[in-house]
Amino acid sequence: MVFSSNLFVFLFLPLFLAAYYLTPGRWRNWTILLGSYLFYAWWRPDFLLLFVAITLWNYVFALAIQKYREHPRCFYWLVVGVAGDLAALGYFKYTNFGVDSISALMVSVGLNPFYLETIILPLGISFYTFQALAYLVDVYRGDAKPTRSFINFAAFISFFPQLIAGPILRYRNLERQFEKRTHSMELFSLGASRFLLGFIKKVLIADSIAPVAAYLMAAPEPGFVDSVFAVVLSTLQLYFDFSGYSDMAIGLGMMMGFKFQENFNQPFVCQSVTEFWQRWHITLSQWLRDYLYRPLKKTLNWPMAAATFSTLTLAGLWHGADLAFVLWGAAIGGMMVLERRLGWVTTMSTPYSLFRNYRAQAFLWFIWPLFLAGNIPDAWRMMSGLLGLNGLGSLNNLALYVSPMTLFFCLVAFVWERSAAFYNKRFYLGLDESNVFQDVSSWRVPILWCGFALAVTRLSAESFSPFLYFQF
C-alpha cells in the first residue's frame, strides 16, 4: 500500500482517521500503532516480526543505557544496541552486495564464485533503523530520556506517514507530541492541503515525467543533448517524487496533530554543492552531521576534510548497495572539501548569483547518473554522453514515443523548479511560510483540489507507481 493509490486515499486513510478521532485521547497512540502495523503488514506480514523485534530491541537497550548511566558498562550497552541495529541493516541491505563483490574478485583471480539467494530488502529499514540509532545515541548522550511507554515508542518507530521514506524523525523532538498534542480544524485543514500538494507532485508531475526520463535514460549511445535532457528530467522526477512523499508525510502528521521537520528547502536554488546538501533530504543530512560527522571530527579529532569525505561516502552507501552510490557520495564529499578550500561555500543568506547556481548544478547534473542509474555501466553510458563522447545527439525520436500531455508536464516540472529558484528572493532566504509552493492559504485550496481531482483521474486510468525512495 502506498500513499499514491486509490486503496490508501479512499479506503485506508478515511477509515484510519475516523478510528483515530473516535478513539479517546489517551488511547490514540494505540490507534497509530495498530494502524501503522496494518499499513506495514499490507506489504509483507512476515517482515512485521522483524519490525517489532527491532522496536523491542531499542526500547530495552535504551532503558539499560539509562540504568547504567553512571557505570562504565553504559558504553557497552550502547555498542551492543547500535551493533544490533547495524547488523540487521547490513544483513538485509548489503549482504548481496558483499557476496557479489567477493564473487567478482574470486572470478578475477581464477576461482569459482559462490552465490547466495537474493535477500529481500524490507521496506523502510534504512529509515526506521536510523531513527532507532538516533534514539539510543541521544539517550546515551543525555539529550533524551528513554520513554517508559513501549506503546509511545513503538508508535514513533512505526508511524506510517513517514515510515517508508522519511522524513527521518528523532524521538526527542516528538516525545511531547506523543504524550500530548493539540488537534484543531485549522491544523487538520493545513495538513490535508499539504497532502494534496504532495499527491499532485507525485502522481501528476513525477509519474508523468517518468516515461520520458526512462526513455532517455535507456538510450544505448546518448548524445550530449539526449544526456542533458535525460539527467535533468530524471532528477526532476526524483525531486517531485521524493519531495511529494515528504509533503504527504508532513500533511498526514498535521492531520493527526503532529508537526514534522521539513525535508526539502528548494534544493535547486543552491549556489554550492555544500548548500545543496543542506537543502536536499534535510533530515538525513542533519542526522549524518550529528551522529557521524561531529563524532568523527570532535571526538576522534579527524581533520575536517577526512570527516566530510567519509561522511558523504557513507551517505552514498546508505542510499544503495552498489559502487555507483558510493562514488556518488564520495564525489559530493570531495567537492564539499574542495569548495571549502576554494572559498566557494555558500549559505542561505549568500547574495544570489546565477553563475554560482549553474556552476553547482553542472557538477551535480554530471554525477547524478551514478545515483539515477544505480550501477557503473549505465551511469558511465550517460556520463559519456554528457561529456560529448557520443556526439551532439538530438531529440527527434522523442515525439514518436511520448504524448503531448507528458511533454506538457515535463515543462510544468521545469518551470516549477526554475520559478522556485527565481520567482522571489524569499525562496532563497530559507524556509518561508509565504512560499507559494508550500503555502496552502485559502485562495490556493481550490487549485489544489482541482489538481488532486486531475491526479486521481490519472491514477484511475493507470496503475500506481511506487515511490523511488522505497528502494533505499
How large is the average pLDDT for residues 378-405?
80
Non-local CB neighbours of 304 within 8 Å, separated by 6+ positions: 297, 337, 340
Instruction: Please tell me which residue in 71, 183, 281, 319 is annotated as part of the active site.
Output: 319
Give the pLDDT score at 429: 38
Whether 319 is a known active-site residue: answer: yes
Q: Write the CB contacts of 315 (distance below 8 Å, at least 6 apart in sequence).
A: 284, 285, 288, 329, 332, 333
Q: How large is the average pLDDT for residues 55-67?
A: 94
pLDDT digit string, tens, across residues 182-237: 888 888 888 888 898 888 888 888 888 888 888 888 888 888 988 888 898 899 88
Q: Which of 129, 133, 128 is nearest to 82 (CA)?
A: 133
How many Cβ atoms sit within 10 Å of the Cβ of residue 72? 7
Bigger pLDDT: 150 vs 394: 150
Look at 284 and 429; give whichever has higher pLDDT: 284
How much is the average pLDDT of 147-163?
92
pLDDT (tens digit, 9 = 90+) per residue, 329-349? 999 999 999 999 999 998 877
Whether residue 435 has pLDDT greater than 70: no
Task: Examine the pLDDT at 320 and tell me if it is beyond 50.
Answer: yes
- The CA distance from 368 to 372, in Å, is 6
In this prediction, residue 420 carries a pLDDT of 55
Q: Tell me the whole-structure pTM to 2 decimals.
A: 0.88
Taking only the tens place, the pLDDT of each residue in 345-369 is 988 778 888 899 889 999 999 999 9
Task: Tell me how far apart the alpha carbons of residues 212 and 215 are, in angstroms, rounded to a whole number.
Answer: 5
CB 213, CB 230: distance < 8 Å: yes
Nearest to 88 by CA among 29, 129, 145: 129
**CB within 8 Å of 446: residues ≥ 6 apart:** none
| The pLDDT value given to residue 219 | 85
Q: Spell out the domain ranges in the chain.
A: 6-180, 187-271+346-471
User: Could you give the CA distance from residue 82 to residue 132 in angstroms, rounded to a whole number?
Assistant: 9
Q: Concatenated DSSP letters for 197-223?
A: HHHIIIIIIIHHHHHHHHHHHT-SS--
How far apart CA 454 and CA 445 sit, in angstroms, is 14
**What pLDDT band is residue 170 in, cutting at 50, 70 and 90?**
very high
Cis peptide, bond prior to residue 295, ω within 30 of zero: no
Cell numbers placing 106:
574470486
- Half-sphere exposure in the Cβ direction for 465 (13 Å, CA): 27
d(CA 263, CA 372): 20
